[in-house]
Structures are given as C-alpha cells and as structure tokens.
Amino acid sequence: MYCPPLLLFNPSLAQVHVIEARDLNPQDSSGTSDPFVVIKSSLGGTQKTNTQKANNSPLFDERLVFNYKDLSPQQIHEASLTIAIYDEDWFGLSRQMIGSCSFDLLGIYAKNETHEMYRTW
C-alpha cells in the first residue's frame, strides 16, 4: 500500500488553495458572473470562498482548511472533494452552478509533487 508522506505526518488536515478561474461562462445579463467556489468533503464539511463580483476570471487566492479527528486509513484512502463554482444572485439568496468536478485526495498526492489540479469545463 502506498501512503504519501504528507498524509502520514498529518492525517487529519486537508488544505485547499483555491487560486483562480478563467473565462467563466457569463450567467448574468450584464455579460459577467459573480463567482464563488464551494468545496464539499466526503469526510464531512463544506466551505466556500468569498464572492467575486462581476468577474469572469476571478482571483480567489483563498486557503480553505478541513480538520478531522481520528480518521482511519480506510477513510483517508476513500476521501474525495467536490469543487463547484457558482454565480451568486440576489445578494446571496440564490445561486446558479457554472461548473463542478470531483477528485480523490490521494490521487492529488500521487499524481504530482506540487499537489496541484487544474480542470476545464
């Protein structure tokens, strides 16, 4: 069984650095969107970024942290995150999905040394 070193040293922390999105499809009649990112963990918990008003290529640069206790190796190996980006409407009272993707946490550690992921939709 392969266990990435970072998970061995700190098995109860998942930090997601949401950097940016580019060329989002506009959702508002103005030709722009008011995007924010929601991250949902299969281990429990949901976190979101701040909303970037009227911006189709937003720079978020926010770190979202999920802390857990007493995770089993099985839970860590099966953990996944779903990342969705929405357009905010009506001062946060409604939202419209622009796109989403999911990935398993160990896959990010195993695929590259920088633990970065890019997705186009």
Q: Is 28 in the site for Ca ion (CB under 5 A)?
A: yes
| Cβ-Cβ contacts under 8 Å for 95 (sequence gap 6 or more) | 36, 86, 87, 88, 89
Q: Is 34 in the site for Ca ion (CB under 5 A)?
A: yes
| Angle 35-45-70 from CA coordinates, rounded to 5° | 150
Q: Is 89 in the site for Ca ion (CB under 5 A)?
A: yes
Q: Is 56 in the site for Ca ion (CB under 5 A)?
A: no
Site string for Ca ion, 8-27 (x = CB under 5 A): --------------------
Distance CA 24, CA 2 (A): 37
The site for Ca ion (CB under 5 A) is made up of 28, 34, 87, 89
